[in-house]
Structure 1
Amino acid sequence: MDIARGVRGGYLDGLLTRSPHTPLEGCAAVTTGEEVDGHVCQFHLLTAFDDPFVASVEFRVRPDDRQNVIVFVATTEQPVGSPNDPLPARHQRTAALARRSLGPVAPVLLDGQAP
């Protein structure tokens, strides 16, 4: 999902302008870099190294659009429910970890609230 850097008090802007070595709240690790296509990326591991599944959140900033951030949540958590259910219903533990780490932008990404 694309989210404007300034929504919800500029949370994403603050995240992307602080030290790239600072993990999000509750994250086990962070890595930053640049993809081949020029996107500046931050990848935060939401799970601990001994958890039974892996969950992460990634932020990408396009070189031609610095005002918006592409936000991805990925997980290997076993899904429950219908394939048409939203991520919070299908991957409940991942959603809980993401909410803790994404702060005020979590409802925008996970619940479809207006920015």
Structure 2
Amino acid sequence: MTYLECKFNNFTASSREDLIKDALIATRESLQGEKLRSSVCTIVVVGVGEPFHILDQETVQQLIDTFEIVREEESAPAEPKPAADRDSATDQGSAAEQGGAENQGGSPMDI
């Protein structure tokens, strides 16, 4: 599933800032190795009781910088798993790989 599909159910309870963060993270993930910068990204906000407005590039870049820090923290090495957990994760991975071969060519929504 895509990032936004995974987060969709939480949108109604999300704050404005969380929605902007989710949009930026989804955009960043779609860039295929390119770095997300405010010069290539525009954020427009509109909502109930909030008129249409465009965030300035400095604000957008500050938001992007904040989320890049989050990304670095998320990619930090995790604690090693106990041997029992590693073995079951390996077994599940093998099963997923076998099932994945049957589903090649299908979109995530088709699986």
TM over 0.5, shorter chain: no
Q: Which has the higher contact order (CA 8 A, sep 6+)?
A: 1
Q: Could you state the TM-score of these two structures normalised by the residue count of structure 2?
A: 0.25
Higher percent of residues as helix:
2
Q: Could you state the TM-score of these two structures normalised by the residue count of structure 1?
A: 0.25
Higher percent of residues as strand:
1
